Structures are given as structure tokens and as C-alpha cells.
Amino acid sequence: MLIRRLWPSLVWAVAILILTGLPGKYFPTVVSFWDWLSPDKVVHVFIFGVQTVLLLYAFRAQFFTRKLRWIYIVLILALTTLFALLTEILQRYVFIGRHGNVYDFLADFIGVIVGFLAYYLLIIKKKGTGN
């Protein structure tokens, strides 16, 4: 059942929203392109990589055909990327003491891609069907 498989990704999404909403006065600020390689960006890559894997795993039973599998994958990647963008917009305009920026979003997007690659290599390619 989809709901049973979906709850870990929903819990993770709530955790992301809570973490991104915490006051950020103790977090380092990004002032140049090279600062995006900081440990903070690794955290962004990790949390959105995990979110992507959890969503792909939740919907794996929906992959009845190869074509349908890729439609779900593209939709999940798009939705996770939009969620990452939303967190940065919330940090910039809603959450107090937070400052969303393009480098954080870039790290989030890289996390989405890393999550997809991990899922692809560990689940789809290994089993051949993704189920």
C-alpha cells in the first residue's frame, strides 16, 4: 500500500521543514561561490538525497512498466526539486533568522540528483525492474 511506504518520506519532509525553519544565527553565511563547498552544503546534499531516495522507494510498486517507471521518477525528481526551492523561499521570506540563497538551492538540487543516482544504482540497476 502506497501510504505505508510513503510515511517515511513525509516524516523526513517535516523534519526538513523544521530544520530549515530553525533560527540560523549560528549557521555560517555564504559570501562567495567557493563557500558553497562548506559542511553546510554537504548537509543540504544529504537531506535532499535521502528525501529523493525515500520518495522513489515509496513509489517503486507503481512502476508497472518501464515507461511508467520513468514518468514517476521524473515527477518525483521535479517535486523534490520544487520542495527544495520552497524551503529556500521560506528561509528567505518567512523563517526568522534564516537566509535562503541560490547556493543552498544548488546543493539541494545536487542532493536530488545524488539521491536519484543512489536509487538507480542500488535498486533499479541491481534488480533490473525497480520493484
* Residue where the block lists cell 548537509: 43
pLDDT for position 29: 59
Cα 103 to Cα 37: distance, rounded to the nearest angstrom: 9
Q: What is the mean pLDDT of residues 110-125?
A: 92
Cα 106 to Cα 103: distance, rounded to the nearest angstrom: 5
pLDDT for position 50: 97
Query: What secondary structure does DSSP assign to 43-94, as a single string?
Result: HHHHHHHHHHHHHHHHTGGG--SHHHHHHHHHHHHHHHHHHHHHHHHHHHHT
111 or 124, greater pLDDT: 111
Computed from CA positions of residues 84, 13, 73, 43, in that sequence, does the dihedral angle turn out positive or negative?
positive
pLDDT for position 130: 47
| Percent of the chain residues past pLDDT 90, beyond the cut | 48
Give the residue extent of every domain in the chain: 38-131
Q: What is the CA radius of gyration of the chain?
A: 16
Reply yes or no on whether the pLDDT at 96 is more than 50.
Answer: yes
Reply yes or no on whether the pLDDT at 128 is more than 70.
Answer: no
Q: What is the mean pLDDT of residues 80-109?
A: 92
pLDDT for position 127: 67
Q: How many residues does the chain have?
A: 131
Q: Which of 24-28, 43-47, 76-80 has the lowest average pLDDT? A: 24-28
Reported as a single tens digit per residue, the pLDDT across 55-87 is 999 988 776 677 788 888 999 999 999 999 999
Q: Which residue in 2, 103, 121, 125 sits closest to 60, CA to CA?
A: 2
Q: What is the mean pLDDT of the chain?
A: 85
